[in-house]
Homo-oligomer: A and B are copies of this chain.
Amino acid sequence: MPPTFNQRIVLASRPQGAPVAQNFRLEQVPLPPIGHGQVVLRNRWLSLDPYMRGRMDDGPSYSPPVPLNEVMEGRTVAQVLESHHPGFAPGELVFVPNGGWQMHALVDASTLTRKLDPAGTPPPSTALGVHGMPGFTAYAGLREIGKPQPGETLVVAAATGPVGATVAQIARLHGLRVVAIAGGPDKVRYLRDELRVDVALDHRADDFAEQLRAATPNGIDVYFENVGGKVFDAVLPLLNDFARIPVCGTIATYNSRDQLPPGPDRLPALMNQLLRQRLSMRGFIQRDLQRLFPEFLRQMGQWLGDGSIRYREDVVEGLENAPQALIGLLQGRNFGKLLVKLD
């Protein structure tokens, strides 16, 4: 028997600054009856990602906001419970682009384009991390905008997160000197010992900017921007001529988009530097580069299979803990790809 009720988390109110628990509401609602071409899914893994902060605001963004009192958006890995589509059978495991913060999802089968092997290598949960959107963001942004060349120096922050860790490792595979940044000694140790970057730095150090300078004796050729804030500030004076800056996130500022920080205004100086050093900066989101996705799936599958690329998951149990986990993610409290296990 398919379920008749669904547990879900909706956006109860829009955050002012950092999100708080009261912005979310856990509720139980009837599951609508399945229609033609649809499938009923039981979500198993929910991915939590920094972009979700943007969806909670109703300001301009590259995607529409989550409406109030609607289920929070999110990618999931789910099992088919019931299918009204010949391409899917109960028991199959699928990647769900719009699975949502909920135990069950009723979706059009046409939105499901990726079946997963429950016993596969890499395991199905990686379709939400290193072998999915975050890994692809790293791969595509580095390749199309970063244009890494052997011998160059790359800097990436949030480097134990799924995007940063993948950037660091792909760059290492391409023969770059990799300086990876994270917060706290455990993460720094992981970067050095597990991901084998050339230099791992803790952005919490008082002399972080000096450490970064010492770690980049030949300057910085690629800065993969997924953080913003003080790491970007420390990077700017170290950039080489013709440096490339793919910008896929500025998480440090997501909670304060409405307020401009106090001066001086550094925008004109950036424009001067851009010209003087012929820098290239480009914002992107992974779906802009979707044409590279099949190639990414193959290449990353191979790297994961032969151990060239490693990954780490940070698993939270239970849908009810998703809000607190997202709040922590925005403070850098996760260690690896943040997933909610829905059992």
Contact = CB atoms under 8 A, between A and B. Distances in A.
Interface of A: 60-62, 225, 228-229, 232, 241-242, 247-250, 253, 257, 260-285, 288
Contacts of A241: 62
A264 B271 contact: no
A271 B248 contact: no
Given A228-B271, A260-B268, A260-B269, 7 more contacts: A247-B274, A250-B271, A253-B272, A260-B264, A265-B267, A273-B283, A280-B283
Contacts of A228: 268, 271-272
Nearest to A264: B260
A260 B273 CA distance: 13
A62 B276 contact: yes
B264 A266 contact: no
Contacts of A263: 260-265
Nearest to A229: B268
Contacts of A272: 228, 250, 253, 257
A250 B262 contact: no
A190 B210 CA distance: 53
Given A271-B247, A271-B250, A266 B260 contact: yes
Given A241-B62, A280-B282, A282-B281, A250 B267 contact: no
A121 to B, nearest CB: 34
7 contacts: A250-B268, A260-B266, A265-B265, A265-B266, A275-B283, A278-B285, A280-B280
